[in-house]
A and B are shown apart, each in its own frame.
Chain A
Amino acid sequence: MKNMIRIGNGQGFWGDSIDAPVKMAKDGPLDYLTLDYLAEVTLSIMQRQKLKNPMSGYARDFIDMVSRILPEIQNDGLKVITNAGGVNPNSCRDELLKLSNSTGNPIKIGVIQGDDIFPTLADLQKKGVSFENMDTGDSFNSIADKVYSANVYINSSTIAEALDKGAQIVLAGRVSDPGLALGPCIYEYGWKSDNYDLLAAGTLAGHITECGAQCTGGNYSRWKDVPNLADVGYPIIEMQPNGEFCITKHDNTGGLVNRETIGEQVLYEMGDPNHYISPDVCVDFTSFKLNDLGKNKVAITNVAGLTPTDTFKVSISYFAGYKASGQLTVSGPNAYEKAQLTAEIIWKRLESSGCIFDDTSTEYLGLSSCHGEINRMPAQINEVVLRLGVKDSDKNKVNRFGKELAPVITSGPPGITGFSGGRPKAQEIVAYWPTLIPKELVHTKVDVI
């Protein structure tokens, strides 16, 4: 057994830096590279791509990325764990095999399936799963005919199984984000499903690194203390068999790893810290000890785990109408007053044309749109961006809104500009429905080719 493994995360979310994972693979030693390509609504986009073209439905960016780090996978033993397979991991695998076969040095790809329960929703309902919204308690019947995708957050032992069968790239399906890091720990160290403290340590490590540079100096309160964010290093877990681990980054990269950059990220998207529920274990985030070792290294010990729940979380996405938003820049004397008048004019004109929306928003960017009445700036500023938004089930009405912004440039108060992006168009709203499913009803399958 190794006495330490290094797991780097090179992709924090769908749309993160395309160069970061390549730099992670090339700038220093790594055993595993984890990559998160899924946001809550990404799977719905992929599900619709697959409906149009049965060969699509996964993250294309991932194939391009692998082509840039193939030598590290083929020759240096680097293994890649990702959820990039989306709703069509088999097609993703075929593309990867094509790529590696063309170099004459084929690699082994693992595919984990069973998280996509979209095709079996009706069966599962017959078996008694209510799919009631776990946040609001609302009945699934209200959205049942509008569902785009349904994926279970499955446990990380599936990743360990794929690695055990020799996979060099694991297409992990919708595992939890921290699970991408926990999987290789289970495989390397043989952690059992009732080693709660160890599973909790791996989950905490994955939680800290899952958002990429957000634990190495990005989005950090003391931003002036962070050197060279332009070349920020992404995070690396150095995990030991006993669950003690360090977070660090490659030498000679920008960014900062210390007690505060790690602590801030521990708090990110945190609910009840006493019970952080993951598919594998519940983590007590009030348990661990954090020790700043200096030189961009922080040690974490004494993580406590609790019995996991008997359900998996399910992420369902569904169609929820249309929305559009547009912006106008209003400048010069009395800019804020003019922006208020501009908004009034636009809403009145839309009302006259018969457009009453399910929901609207009027914001003044530059006058604390983010912070409401907190620390609101004085109204005598020279420039404000008016941001208007609408939501409705009627697509035509939402597009009608988009046509009502430009006219105020010549038929409203003076000093309005910033309308170069064209008319805002209606976008589909893909909404998110979190729910639960009993674990025994979810059947996962691991294939390595």
Chain B
Amino acid sequence: MTIKLNQIAHARSGDKGANSNVGLMFKSKELYEWAKSNITTTVVKDFFKSIAKGDIVRYEMDNLLALNFILGDSLGGGGSESLINDAQGKTHGQALLLMEVNLPDELVQFVNS
């Protein structure tokens, strides 16, 4: 089943110098385990290619059922030096929730309407 991450995850983002971070949190362990294998740095790098000019780093937080992504060089310089509208990456979390993914049938029960 094709869904958007918005239907299975929460996200929040902010700035870390010239990079932004996007935390992606799941409601169930099943979804989190699936995400660990499928929402990889390669997938996220490709998704954010028009925003993040640098590398993507991923951290796992099993206790929170969450993944934390660092989007390298994603703020047009960052802080007060940036000229872009979202200079602090406040909206990058909402962007990641737009990602379309193919969810296996056994996980469809966890999808929000």
Contacts and interface: CB of A to CB of B under 8 A. Distances in A.
A267 B63 CA distance: 12
Contact of B10 (A263, A286, A359, A389): A263
B11 interface: yes
A217 to B, nearest CB: 13
B112 to A, nearest CB: 8
B79 A432 contact: yes
Interface in A252-296: 260, 263-274, 285-290
A107 to B, nearest CB: 36
Nearest to B47: A374
B33 to A, nearest CB: 16
A134 to B, nearest CB: 9
A222 interface: yes
A267 B20 CA distance: 12
Interface in A347-400: 359-361, 363, 365, 369-375, 387, 389-391
B102 interface: no
B85 A387 contact: yes
A429 to B, nearest CB: 5
B2 interface: no
B103 interface: no
A101 interface: no
Nearest to A363: B85
Nearest to B50: A372
A273 B48 contact: no
Interface residues of B, number: 44
Nearest to B91: A370
B99 to A, nearest CB: 8
A372 B79 CA distance: 19
Interface string A411-449: 000000000000000000111101000000000000000
A83 B96 CA distance: 34
B66 A371 contact: no
A267 B48 contact: no
Given A221-B97, A371-B95, A373-B50, A272 B64 contact: no
A40 interface: yes
Given A374-B95, A389-B83, A266 B15 contact: no
B37 interface: no
A25 to B, nearest CB: 28
Interface in B9-59: 9-18, 21, 23, 25, 27, 47-51, 59
A265 B64 CA distance: 11
B18 A135 contact: yes
A263 B25 contact: yes
B61 interface: yes
A274 B66 CA distance: 13
B68 A375 contact: no
A193 interface: no
Contacts of B86: 369-370
B26 to A, nearest CB: 10
Given A267-B12, A363-B84, A431-B81, A272 B59 contact: yes
A264 B21 CA distance: 12
Contacts of B81: 320, 323, 391, 429, 431
B51 A374 contact: yes
A246 B9 CA distance: 24
Contacts of A373: 49-50
Interface of B: 6, 9-18, 21, 23, 25, 27, 47-51, 59-64, 66, 68, 70, 76-77, 79-81, 83-86, 91, 93-95, 97-98
21 contacts: A260-B27, A263-B10, A264-B12, A264-B23, A267-B68, A269-B21, A270-B23, A271-B70, A286-B61, A290-B64, A320-B81, A360-B83, A361-B84, A363-B85, A371-B98, A372-B48, A374-B47, A375-B95, A391-B83, A431-B79, A431-B81
